[in-house]
Each structure stands twice: as structure tokens, then as C-alpha cells.
Structure 1
Amino acid sequence: MRIFNEFTFEAAHHLPHVFPDGHVNTRLHGHSFRVRVTLEGKPDKRTGLIADLGQVETAFGTAREKLDHRYLNEIEGLETPTLENIAMWLWRHFYPELPSLAQIGVYRDTCGEGCEYQGEYETRRVAA
């Protein structure tokens, strides 16, 4: 079974090493991002919960603070802030607090784009 929670952030970035000079994404621009954090496991017999979504929202706070209204290229680990790199960065951010983490989705809804990441095989486990 899977549960999820979402948050949004606004940020600017550019992709200097991804596209040839002159490509629109080599210039500074911004996006509205939506992030979906999905947890996986069996509901606890006593509580009926896989996890406390309040704990997920607490973890959102620190991630949002680091990302919202920021220039992503200046954040350590996001020097090339593609959707893929943002998803992996978020996985590394959330996994220590959320061991039942199953997937991170990063979406730019206005562009119809996104990336869904299931994490490193070594760190992925299903909660009991």
C-alpha cells in the first residue's frame, strides 16, 4: 500500500551544461514545482497507518525552506538542477527521516513535465 503527500515551491535555475549555447534553458528562468513524496508499507495493526503524514509535512518544511524562492544552482548538490537531479537531491533529503520512502515525484505542471524517482536500490526498503 502507498500513501503520499505533496508540497510546492517556486525557484529559478538555468542549465548551462545541458544544452548548447543559445538554448532557452541556458538562460536564467523560473518554475513552479510540485513534489509528491510517496511512502510504502503495511498499515500498523494498532494505528491503521503506514506512517504519520504529519511527519512528512515536517520534513517538507526543511526542504521547502532550502528550495522555495531560491536560485537552485547555488544549492549544494543542485549545481545542475535538472528534474532528475532535484528528485535525487530530495530523495537524499527525505530518506533519513522517512525510511518507508518509495518514490519522489518532481513535476512542472505548467510545462507538462516531471520525474519520478524510486531511489537507490540499497536505500529502498518496504516498511514492515
Structure 2
Amino acid sequence: GPIDKKIGWIMDFGDVKKVCDPIINQLDHIVLNDVPGLENPTSENLAAWIWEKVYPKLPQLKKIIVSETCSTGCIYKGD
């Protein structure tokens, strides 16, 4: 998104953390297949699942990037 000229950044990282931390905690150190909606946890499905959770709370979101390795992964930009 565009940089806010008053504050000098796009949005406060604390606001991003409030939205993302519960999602990260839901995925951290668990079997992704056990998460409702991630029964087939491909990178593409994971990115879309994260988008569905984050976008309603951060509508300025442009994309979700999921990296499997240094050279593989996917970019999801919504429907």
C-alpha cells in the first residue's frame, strides 16, 4: 500500500501483529492437516487460508507469500 506521509510507513506493525499473531499461533508446531480448512495443506491452500483469515481485518493486504524453501513457494493475491 501507499506510505502514510504523516507516520512514514504503510501501517503500524503492532496492528499487523494483533491480526497475524493468533493465526501464527494456530499454525505453529502442529500438523497442518489437523487444522480445519487445511486438510490438504499445499502452499497454495495455506496461502489462501491465511488470506481468508487476514484480509477481512487488514483490507489493504495485497498478497500472501508462502515459501517452502529458498527457491520454491507461492504468492496469493486473493480471488
Same fold (TM over 0.5): yes
Larger Rg: 1
* Higher relative strand content: 1
In structure 2, the residue matched to 1:58 is 18
In structure 1, the residue matched to 2:45 is 85
CA distance in 1, matches of 2:74, 2:18: 23
Aligned residues: 79
Q: 1:21-50 deviations in whole A, cap 9, x for unaligned?
A: xxxxxxxxxxxxxxxxxxx2x222322332
- What SS does the aligned partner of 1:101 have? coil
In structure 1, the residue matched to 2:66 is 106
Q: 1:87-127 deviations in whole A, cap 9, x for unaligned?
A: 000001111121100010000126x320101112xxxxxxx
Specify every segment of 5 or more residues in structure 1 that has no aligned partner in the other structure, as ranges.
Answer: 1-39, 121-128
Q: TM-score, normalised by structure 2?
A: 0.87
CA distance in 2, matches of 1:70, 1:64: 11
Comparing both chains, which one has the higher relative contact order based on Cα–Cα distances under 8 Å and sequence gaps of 6 or more?
1
CA distance in 1, matches of 2:72, 2:6: 39
Deviation at 1:84, TM superposition (A): 0.4
Q: 1:51-101 deviations in whole A, cap 9, x for unaligned?
A: 112211222210111100111111111011000000000001111121100
In structure 2, the residue matched to 1:118 is 77
Q: TM-score, normalised by structure 1?
A: 0.57
Letter matched to residue 89 of structure 1: W
Over the aligned positions, Cα root-mean-square deviation in angstroms equals 1.4
Residue correspondence of structure 1 range 3-18 to structure 2 within 5 A: none
Moved over 4 A (4+): none
Specify every segment of 5 or more residues in structure 2 that has no aligned partner in the other structure, as ranges.
Answer: none
In structure 2, the residue matched to 1:47 is 7
- What SS does the aligned partner of 1:106 have? strand
